[in-house]
A = this chain, B = another copy of it.
Amino acid sequence: MNEPLRILPLGGLGEIGMNCLVLEYADEILIVDCGLMFSDLDHFGVEFAIPDFSWLRERKQKVSGFLITHGHEDHIGALPFALKAGIRAPIYASAFSAMLLKERLKDHGLESEADIRVFRDGDRLPFRHFSVEPVPVNHSIVDAFAMFIDTPHGKVIHTGDFKIDPTPFYGSQLEESRFRKAGDEGVLLLMSDSTNVERHQHTLSENRIYETFENLFAAAEGLTVIAMFASNVARIGQVLSLAERMGKKVAVTGRSMDQNLRLAQELGYCVDAPNVVIPVEEIGNHRRSDVVILSGGSQAELGSALQRMAHGEHRQVILQPKDRVLMSSRHIPGNEKIIGRMINRLFKQGAEVLYEAVHEIHSSGHASRPELKRMLEWTKPKFFLPIHGEYRHLVHHGKLGEEVGIPSDRICVVENGAVLELSDAGFACVEQLEEPRVLVEGRQGGDVSKLVLKDRRVLGERGVVFALLVRNEESRRIIAGPELVSKGFANETLAPHLMDEARKLVKKLINEYDRNLREGQPEPDFQETVRVELRRFFERNLGHKPTVMPMILDI
- Of A3-11, A72-80, A371-379, A440-448, the one touching chain B: A440-448
Verify B347–A40 contact, CB threshold 8 A.
no
- Of A18-26, A145-153, A275-283, A454-462, the one touching chain B: A454-462
- Of A155-163, A489-497, A529-537, the one touching chain B: A489-497
State in angstroms the CA–CA spacing of A134 and B191 once bound together. 60
Scan residues 37-75 of chain A and give those whose CB is less than 8 A from a CB of chain B: 40, 42-45
Q: Is A272 an interface residue (CB 8 A)?
A: no
Which residues from B are CB-within-8-Å of A460? 43-45, 456-457, 459-461
Which residues from B are CB-within-8-Å of A454? 488
Verify A485–B549 contact, CB threshold 8 A.
yes
Smallest Cβ distance from A6 to chain B, in angstroms? 23
Which residues from B are CB-within-8-Å of A441? 542, 544
Instruction: Give which listed residue, B457, B466, B490, contacts A43 with CB less than 8 A.
Output: B457
Verify A448–B491 contact, CB threshold 8 A.
yes
A344-B391 in contact given A442-B542, A553-B483 (Cβ < 8 Å): yes
Residues of chain A at interface, number, CB under 8 A:
71
Q: Is A254 an interface residue (CB 8 A)?
A: no
Smallest Cβ distance from A343 to chain B, in angstroms? 6
State in angstroms the CA–CA spacing of A542 and B461 once bound together. 24
Scan residues 318-341 of chain A and give those whose CB is less than 8 A from a CB of chain B: 333-334, 336-337, 340
Which among A446, A489, A492 has the highest number of chain B CB atoms within 10 Å?
A446
Smallest Cβ distance from A435 to chain B, in angstroms? 14
A555-B358 in contact given A391-B348, A492-B451, A544-B45 (Cβ < 8 Å): no
Which among A357, A443, A451 has the highest number of chain B CB atoms within 10 Å?
A451
Closest to A344 in B: B391
A337-B334 in contact given A43-B43, A461-B44, A487-B455 (Cβ < 8 Å): yes
Q: Is A390 an interface residue (CB 8 A)?
A: yes
Instruction: Give which listed residue, B391, B466, B553, contacts A470 with CB less than 8 A.
Output: B553
Verify B461–A456 contact, CB threshold 8 A.
yes
Closest to A550 in B: B485
Smallest Cβ distance from A272 to chain B, in angstroms? 39
Verify B333–A340 contact, CB threshold 8 A.
yes
A442-B551 in contact given A14-B344, A463-B456 (Cβ < 8 Å): no
Verify B457–A459 contact, CB threshold 8 A.
no
Scan residues 447-482 of chain A and give those whose CB is less than 8 A from a CB of chain B: 447-449, 451-464, 466, 468, 470, 479-481
Which residues from B are CB-within-8-Å of A522? none
Q: Is A517 an interface residue (CB 8 A)?
A: no
Verify A446–B490 contact, CB threshold 8 A.
yes
State in angstroms the CA–CA spacing of A43 and B494 once bound together. 21
Verify A40–B337 contact, CB threshold 8 A.
yes
Q: Is A547 an interface residue (CB 8 A)?
A: yes
20 contacts between A and B (CB under 8 A): A40-B337, A43-B44, A45-B461, A333-B337, A334-B336, A336-B336, A353-B392, A443-B543, A447-B491, A449-B491, A454-B488, A459-B459, A459-B463, A459-B487, A459-B488, A460-B460, A468-B468, A470-B480, A480-B555, A481-B553
Query: 4 extra interchain contacts, Cβ-Cβ under 8 A, other than A343-B392, A345-B391, A468-B551?
Result: A43-B461, A445-B544, A452-B463, A456-B488
